[in-house]
Amino acid sequence: MELLDNLALGFSVALSFQNLAYALLGCLLGTLIGVLPGIGPVATIAMLLPITFHLPPTASLIMLAGIYYGASYGGSTTSILVNLPGEAASVVTCLDGYQMARNGRAGAALSISAVGSFFAGTVGTLIIVLFAEPLTRMAQKFGPADYCSLMALGLVAAVILASGSVVKAIAMIFLGLLFGLVGTDVNTGAQRFTLDMPELSDGIDFAPIAMGIFGIAEIIVNLERHLTRTGGTIKVTSLWPTMDEVRRAIPAAIRGTFLGAALGVLPGGGPTLGAFSSYTLEKRISKDPSRFGKGAVEGVAAPESANNAAAQTSFIPMLTLGIPSNAVMALMVGAMIIQGIQPGPE
C-alpha cells in the first residue's frame, strides 16, 4: 500500500499542467539539440541547465529529465537519415538504421526507433519504481574483478563478432586500448600521452571519433559520388513497418530494454554500453548474422531500446546512493544540490 500511496502522490505532482508543460518543453529542447551531430545529452544539459535555476525544484528536475530523454532519443534521427550519430549511444544505430534508409525503409526505421524508445522508457520507469532498491544492492556488489571480467568479455566479443580478418579486429582493439591510455590516470593523477595539451587531460572523447568515422567519411563519399550520380537523397515515405519488421523488432526491443536497464544501473555503464551490448547480443543470437550492417531491423530496435532503458535506470544509483553512474547524472546531482536537494540515503 505504501508503494501505491507514493505512486499516487508522484502522479498528482507530475500530472499537473505546469509540470507537464515543463516536461514537454524539456523533451522538445532535448530532441532539437540532440539531433545535432556530436552534441549529445551531456552538452545539451550543460547548455540548458542555467534556464532551470529559477524554477521550482520539482519543475526543474522534470524539465532536466525531459531534456535528457529527448537528447537520448534525438540522436537516432540523424543516425538513420544521414549516417551522423547525434551522440555516442547512437553510433550503433548508424550501422543498420542508415542502411534501412538507403533501402527505402527510413520511415519504418524512425517509427521502430520511436516506439522502441517509448517502450524502453516506460519499462525503465517501472523498474525504478519497483526494483530500485534490489538493483542498487546488485550494483554495489560489483567490484574490480567483476568490472575487469566485463571489460574482458567485451574485448573477446569484439573479436568473435568482427567480420573479416581476425588479425585486423585484434589490431583495432589494441588501438582502442592505446587511445584509452590518453588522459589523466585515475589512480595517480599523472598526465599520460597528453603532449602538454590541456584538451587531452580528460582523454579522447568518443563522440568526435564517432563523428569522424561515420559523419566525415559519409560526407567525403558523397562528394566523390557527386560527379557520377545525382539525387540520392533519403526520402521518408510511409512510417508503417511491415509485419515481418514488427515480428523481428518486438523481441529485439524487449531484450534490449532489459539488458540496457541492467547495465544502466552500473557506474560507468549508461546508454552507450547498453546500446553496444544489445547490438552485440542480437548479432550473436541471430540465425543469420550476415544481415547486420545491411539493414537488419533488430539492429535499430535493440540499441535504441537499450539506450533509453539505460538512460532511465541510471537514475537509480544517483537517487538512492548519491552516486552518478555517468556524466549526465553528475550534472543532475549538481542541479539537485543547487535546488537544495541532497541525493542519496541521507
**Residue 344 lies inside a defined structural domain of this protein:** no
Q: What number is the average pLDDT over the span 316-326?
A: 74
What percent of the chain has a predicted confidence (pLDDT) above 90? 0
> What residue type is 127 in one-letter code?
I
Note whether residue 6 is domain-resident: yes
Average pLDDT over residues 65-87: 79
3-state secondary structure of 183: strand
Summarised one tens digit per residue, pLDDT across range 286-320 is 888 888 888 888 888 888 888 888 888 888 877 77
Q: How many domains does the chain have?
A: 1
139-177 pLDDT, tens digit each: 667 677 776 776 776 667 666 655 567 787 788 778 877
- In the chain, the percentage of residues whose pLDDT exceeds 70 is 79
Q: Does some domain include residue 345?
A: no
Whether the pLDDT of residue 96 is over 80: the answer is yes
* b/e 111-143 (16+ beta carbons within 10 angstroms → b): bbbebbbebbbebbeebbeeebeebbeebeebe
Alpha carbon 336 to its chain centroid, in Å, reads 22
Four-point Cα dihedral 150, 155, 160, 163, nearest 10: 140
Q: Mean pLDDT score of the chain, rounded to an integer?
A: 77
Structural contact between residues 315 and 257, judged by C-beta atoms closer than 8 angstroms? no
Indicate the pLDDT class of residue 64, thresholds 50, 70 and 90.
Answer: confident
* Whether the predicted pLDDT of 15 surpasses 80: yes
Residue 186 domain boundaries? 2-338
- 329 in a structural domain: yes
**What integer pLDDT is reported at residue 236 of this predicted model?**
65
What pLDDT sits at residue 279? Answer: 86
Q: Model confidence at 230, in pLDDT bands (50, 70, 90)? A: very low
Does a structural domain hold residue 171? yes
Average pLDDT over residues 279-284: 84
Which helix H or strand E contains 230, and what residues bound it? Answer: none
Average of per-residue pLDDT across 25-34:
83
Query: What does the alpha-carbon distance between residue 85 and residue 83 come to, in Å, rounded to a whole number?
Result: 6
Considering the domain boundaries, does residue 124 fall inside one?
yes
Nearest CA among 123, 162, 97, 108 for reference residue 256 = 123
Tell me if 254 is assigned to some domain.
yes
Q: Is residue 346 part of a domain?
A: no
Q: How confident is the model at residue 269 (pLDDT cuts 50, 70, 90)?
A: low
Write down the residue that cell numbers 553496444 correspond to: 276
The per-residue pLDDT for 229 is 43
Judge whether residue 257 has pLDDT over 50. yes
Q: What is the mean pLDDT of residues 87-93?
A: 76
Mean pLDDT, rounded, for 236-262: 84
Is 80 exceeded by the pLDDT of residue 182?
yes
